[in-house]
Structure formats: structure tokens, C-alpha cells
A = this chain, B = another copy of it.
Amino acid sequence: MPAPHKPVEIREFAEPDLPTGGALLRTAFSEVCGTDVHLWHGRLSGVPYPIIPGHVTTGTLDKARGPLADVTGAPLREGDRLAFFDVHRTCGRCLACTVHRTPTRCPSRRVYGITDSATEGLFGGWSQKVYLEPGVIVAKLPDAVTFESYIGGGCGLLTSVHIIDRARITMGDTVVVQGAGAVGMSTAALARRAGAGQVIVIGAPADRLALSRDMGADAVIDIEKTTPEERLESVLALTGGIGADVVVEAAGSPRAFEEGVRLARNGGAYVIAGHYTNAGDSTINAHEHINRKHLDIRGCWGSESAHFLRALRLLERYGGEVPWARIGARTYGLRDINDALGAAAELSIPKALVDPWR
């Protein structure tokens, strides 16, 4: 991706010399997610174009210089099926990492495919090989987890593991998820498995709502066929007039925020997790929606390595019953990558996969 609003081009890079502890991944799949569309539209600041997009990626270990191990110290061998945590260089020393315990706000943090420049090397998954620099957190895919289900979950799954942490669901809670994209669907799947008594997904279009049901939603509300008032009435009807215990915003729209504070019950919780770019302002009444409601609103930014590692366990645990692979609706080669971006931008499919060898 040479620059915003320009077509993505295919470029050839020399295979890098690996430093000790470095490795090379042979890509099986990367993905096109909403962030890639934002990158293409130039809506993220500070991006060092040109970049190789593709932050969440999976494949096999091509080669490593020196012994490579996962976080438990288990050795990794060439040919192993791998995933890696796209967020790297989190320093572990700054105030954000230590005193504030918010490593996702570490100023040194860099992300494959987003804040790493192509001028520095193969730091993105829309490439046949990806450079794993020393210190990147790498893990074997559990045997039960296919490449397709890992990448189907993708970055949305990692975000949703973080969301579930922030949501602090009590068994039996009603959870409303605003948004039926990759984040929303994974959140619905996990909320159900975390003990939610009822999971309601608000979104569109119909095929995503159907998939949301298959992921775990008990009820779905089509945002294209309802007014905000009707949706509020539906949620009240499903909760005995009380409202949702937990609402998760995974829609990225200022209107969703305005609506979500109404859907939550008194003393409920609202996790704001969809606003990865600035989509405009919301109008909020502090008295009605926060103060009198005794509401908790919790911003949720990025994910930590703990979320990556736990995502693998959750894929292993629930992969048999949650159809993560179906989120990755269609697979594109590098030659079709601009079509993939177009499809993602139009939201015509939940997620496009990238197979750079196709």
C-alpha cells in the first residue's frame, strides 16, 4: 500500500538476513479487516506509508536463526504451524506498561501491517513471507485449530477477548452487542461461552445476523429494518423492562454510542470498542445516561499479548461449535487485493482472507 487512496501494488523484496532470534513465516493466510480499509482511506494518523498491510497472519515457520521458543519456552521447529502477536515492541517499562497497566497505550508499541513501514522490511501479512523480529510473541497453533478458523477469528477475536475482560459478565447477564462485523460476532460467541444468559446482536445485513446466531446470539435485531426506539423496545421486552446488563459497542458509529447508553440497565456496563477511527461526535446526556443510571462506560483499546495467547486456547476449546472460519467469507490472492479491499470497504462480506500464494 504505497499511500492512502492509491491502489495496492505488488512489490518484490529480497529475503531478509535474519538476526539471532529472528525468523521468517511462510504465510498461509492474512486478512483484510476494517483497519485495512481505514489505512486505505488514510483515516489513521502517523502511518509510515508505504506499508505491507495484514496485521493478523498465520502460516508455517519457514526458517529461524537460533532457537525459537514460545512463551512457555517450548521450542518451535521449521514447518510448525504458527501464529504471532502482531503488536510488538511494547516496552514493559514505561508508565503505561507498569504504573497504569495499560500496555495497549505504550508509546513504543508497534503493530505489524499498520505502524511498521515496508521500508523496514516484511512487516505485514499481505506477503508470501513475514519477518518475525526477535521478541515477537509466537505460538504454535493447537492441532485442533485450522488456519481458516484462526484467521476467521483474526484480529476481531483478539479484540473480543479483551472486550470480554472489560465486560466482566456475571453468569446470567443479558449482553447486547452492537455490530455484526468480525468483532461483534466473536464477542457474541465469547459472551455466550462466558455465561451470558442471553446474547442479542444488533446489526446488518441478514446473512451476518444469521451467522451471528450460529456464533451464539440468542436474538438478533436488524438495524436496517428497525428504528432506535424499536430496538430499545425490543431489548426492554427481552429483559423484563430492565435493559441489558452489559452492552458492547462494536459498530464504530456515533449513533451506536448514543443508542447503547439507552439500552443498558441502571448500574449496567457499556464497553466502547468499535471506534478505531474518528467517525464523529455523539450527543450524550450525562444526567439521563450516566449519572442517574449509575452506568459504567469502559473504553477498550487494542489487545495485549495475554489476549492473543488466550484466543488460541478459546479457538481450541470452542472451535468445534463456533464457526469462526465462516467469518472469512472469501479468499483473495495478491493480484486481487484491491478487489478484496473494495469488498471490505463496501461491507459486502464480513471478512476477506488473503492467500498470497494463490
Q: Does A313 lie at the interface of the complex (its beta carbon under 8 Å from any beta carbon of B)?
A: yes
Q: In the complex the two chains form, what is the Cα distance from A210 to B169 in whole Å?
A: 30
Q: Contacts A93-B305, A172-B317, A309-B95; is A100 near B265 (CB within 8 Å)?
A: yes
Among candidates B278, B281, B298, B317, residue contacting A284 with C-beta atoms closer than 8 Å: B281
Q: Does A236 lie at the interface of the complex (its beta carbon under 8 Å from any beta carbon of B)?
A: no
Q: Are the C-beta atoms of B94 and A306 separated by less than 8 Å?
A: no
Q: Contacts A197-B313, A309-B98, A317-B197; is A273 near B291 (CB within 8 Å)?
A: yes
Q: Note all chain B residues with C-beta closer than 8 A to A298.
A: 295-297
Q: In the complex the two chains form, what is the Cα distance from A98 to B162 in whole Å?
A: 13
Q: Are the C-beta atoms of A287 and B278 separated by less than 8 Å?
A: yes
Q: Does A204 lie at the interface of the complex (its beta carbon under 8 Å from any beta carbon of B)?
A: no
Report the contact-size class of chain A (Cβ under 8 Å from the partner).
35 or more
Q: In the complex the two chains form, what is the Cα distance from A164 to B168 in whole Å?
A: 13
Q: Closest residue to A107 on the B side, CB-wise?
A: B73
CB neighbors of B among A298-312 (8 A): 298-301, 304-306, 309-310
Q: In the complex the two chains form, what is the Cα distance from A287 to B279 in whole Å?
A: 7
Shortest Cβ gap from A305 to chain B (Å): 5
Among candidates B92, B170, B283, B300, residue contacting A92 with C-beta atoms closer than 8 Å: B92
Q: Does A190 lie at the interface of the complex (its beta carbon under 8 Å from any beta carbon of B)?
A: yes
- Specify how many copies of this chain sit in the oligomer: 4
Q: Note all chain B residues with C-beta closer than 8 A to A348.
A: none
Q: Contacts A197-B313, A265-B100; is A161 near B165 (CB within 8 Å)?
A: no
Q: Note all chain B residues with C-beta closer than 8 A to A165.
A: 170
Q: Are the C-beta atoms of A284 and B287 separated by less than 8 Å?
A: no
Q: Are the C-beta atoms of B300 and A297 separated by less than 8 Å?
A: no
**Chain A 83-98 against B: per-residue CB contact (8 Å), 1 yes, 0 no?**
0000000101111111
**Chain A 235-257 against B: per-residue CB contact (8 Å), 1 yes, 0 no?**
00000101001000100001001
Q: In the complex the two chains form, what is the Cα distance from A165 to B173 in whole Å?
A: 13
Among candidates B240, B275, B293, residue contacting A291 with C-beta atoms closer than 8 Å: B275
Q: Are the C-beta atoms of A281 and B280 separated by less than 8 Å?
A: no
- Chain A residues with CB under 8 Å of chain B are 71-72, 90, 92-102, 104-105, 135, 137, 161, 164-165, 170-172, 190, 193-195, 197, 240, 242, 245, 249, 254, 257, 265-268, 272-288, 290-301, 304-306, 309-310, 313-314, 317
